A and B are shown apart, each in its own frame.
Chain A
Amino acid sequence: MSRNDILNRLRRHGGSVMPLPRQPAVNRQDIETGNTEGFARQATANNIGVIRANSLDHASALIEEYLVKSGLNGSVVVAGCLQVFFGHSTRFETGTSNGQDQVCISMAYAGIEDTGTFITLSDSSNPTLLNFLAEVHFLVLPTQRIYHRKMDIWKLLALENRELPRALNFISGPSRTADIEQTLQLGAHGPKQLIGVLVSGT
């Protein structure tokens, strides 16, 4: 049987059976928070548009305004966890994307200042396809959830006792490719435009 053959070969060739050291327990003070300005700078460098809002209600108003100004008249799907802020308009559907939507709006779990990255956790109220199928993608991130580096996210997940969802996404820009003549093109398969909505306050 392949399984035992492979494992036996590895053990014979020196694979140690000594247990690996456990990760030490995490305290809140071990997690380094990030700087919003630094995050916005890095996100902009990653071709992410940045909008600032001072509450989630303000964020939804700014997104609606952006859609009108940019002539984005197609269908919009918003994550269930944000529905309450967009419930006043019938234009915003909730659920996941079917690939025909023009705009999707989802919620970030955290951000990384170092790389300008948004982290999302998939679940029924924040389905992962919202991050990949629309032409324009809005990601809402409370600024108090910005951390310094990738390492802080692992600590945060451990501290908050979060079980990994089916998809833990690290998103650092709109979809891109440079597969033809090394020339950067945005919007390969996923969003052509990614707009981060940074929400200050609680």
Chain B
Amino acid sequence: MQCESHQFKSKAREALDNETLQTALARAKSGFVNKRAKAIELVDDFEHLKQLAQHSKREALTHLPQLLSQFEARVIASGGHVHWASSAEDLNCIALEICQSVQARTVTKGKSMIGEETGLNGYLEQAGLTLVETDLGEYIIQLAKEPPSHIIAPAVHKTRQQVAELFRQHHALGERGLDQISDLVAEARQMLRARFLEADVGITGANLLIADTGSVAVVTNEGNGDLSATLPKVHIVTASIEKVVASLEDAGNILEVLARSATGQAMSTYTTFFTGPRRDSDLDGPEQFHVILLDNGRSDLLGSEFEPMLGCIKCGACLNHCPVYSNVGGHAYGWVYPGPMGSVLTPLLQGLEQSVDLPNASTFCGRCAEVCPMGIPLPSLLRTLREKAFESGHEAGTFRFGIFLYSWLCARPRLYHAAVNGANFVLRHWPNWFRLSLPKGWFQHRTLSTSEPTFMNQWKSTRK
């Protein structure tokens, strides 16, 4: 997918002015936050579960090359194939080659953020394949020709009326009504069931890869992952390299925190461990099982100050609790991953020069780090990225000049006090004039206050 993160400021402004989007975001925010809080309340010691999950992930990252080799060997032993992709283009080429090798014409796809990252849909469609997203949210945005705006609820920005309109445009509805949300779900079920049954290839993402058994864990609530993985004659899994863990026990540790943090469920409806293609005696399942492992810049993060980001399990809790994401939505971030995790991952995978505003898209309130089940210090990673952006000179000249002026002033205490006193004088005596001279938008979300006298000033005044 093309990275448009350099347009963050203008897209954020548009999002704030979009009333329909603001309504959808307000509804989504309270839904996710409340469900997560309730799920965690029901657990005796969620902190303990977090520690176990983090330990499993740390062990996996420490042994990453070894576990990936082991995973590969186990997949092959179970009759499957493993492919390695250094870049997005590599992954797309490999997936297309597999599809062409079985003369595939139709593909059903379960939700895969890796597929979004590499622009897999567009690539396969350009090669003449008919590809249908089967997660309801992904299907909606596929019809709307939009990227996902949330990593677990891709169509969170759409209202029911907008979904109904999309179905009217793309489905031959006949007598079927679309007044209720249940009508919309039934409509999608009916349309997609036919696609599932006729598909030649099924593509899914992976929540976890298990080195010990060569299994791929896929978590869904709809069951679309299982249907995409089982009905077609070929199952392709697209996964990034950091998804591997050592054992089923380690996978279990991470699953304990995943659904609770994501959707507020103790466990998602369907968690399936796929191991290889169908066995000789099986009555269902694909004849071929392929796993494509994507690097795309991740191997460079191992051992760096950004390694903790490889611990992300894409639960979306940081998005749901972020005041910036909750106001501007996912599209403003301009690439696949939005919110705090996206503001770290996008610059790391796409380059800071493309996404220099993203590390600044944070109030540093710290909620993201607080709710992250994997203990990723997101604000501190964002701070490090800010420093790097400044050092490398990617920020706008006016911003750099402002920072330079401020640091120059801070290094000169007398001048600094004179400037602060001067500013205070202006704010006290000409507040309205000052207000008018600043951009109008600045005051929509901020109040201007005069600063208190400094300690030194107070001390001096008592001595008089």
Contacts and interface: CB of A to CB of B under 8 A. Distances in A.
Contact of B230 (A1, A129, A179): A129
A181 B181 contact: yes
B227 A132 contact: yes
Given A166-B275, A167-B272, A123 B158 contact: no
B270 A15 contact: no
B215 A168 contact: yes
Interface stretch (A28-36, A64-72, A139-147, A183-191): A183-191
B63 interface: yes
Contact of B274 (A99, A124, A167, A170): A167
Contacts of B295: 2, 6, 9
Contacts of A11: 65
A99 B232 CA distance: 13
Contact of A175 (B140, B158, B222, B304): B222
Nearest to B61: A15
Interface in A169-196: 169-183, 185, 187-191
Contact of B68 (A10, A166, A177, A188): A10
Nearest to A112: B267
Interface of A, secondary structure class, is loop
Range class of the A interface residue count? 35 or more
B48 to A, nearest CB: 13
Given A20-B246, A166-B285, A170-B272, A115 B267 contact: yes
Given A132-B230, A181-B24, A187-B185, A114 B193 contact: no
B283 A174 contact: no
A170 B219 CA distance: 9
B282 A124 contact: yes
A146 B136 CA distance: 33
B184 A167 contact: no
B279 A123 contact: yes
Contact of B84 (A3, A124, A176, A179): A3
Given A13-B302, A15-B65, A99-B197, 15 more contacts: A9-B295, A10-B241, A16-B63, A18-B63, A127-B282, A170-B267, A171-B269, A172-B266, A173-B269, A180-B155, A181-B159, A185-B185, A187-B186, A189-B224, A191-B223
16 contacts: A2-B86, A2-B90, A6-B295, A13-B302, A16-B63, A20-B246, A42-B266, A96-B283, A151-B249, A172-B266, A172-B267, A178-B263, A181-B159, A187-B186, A188-B222, A189-B189
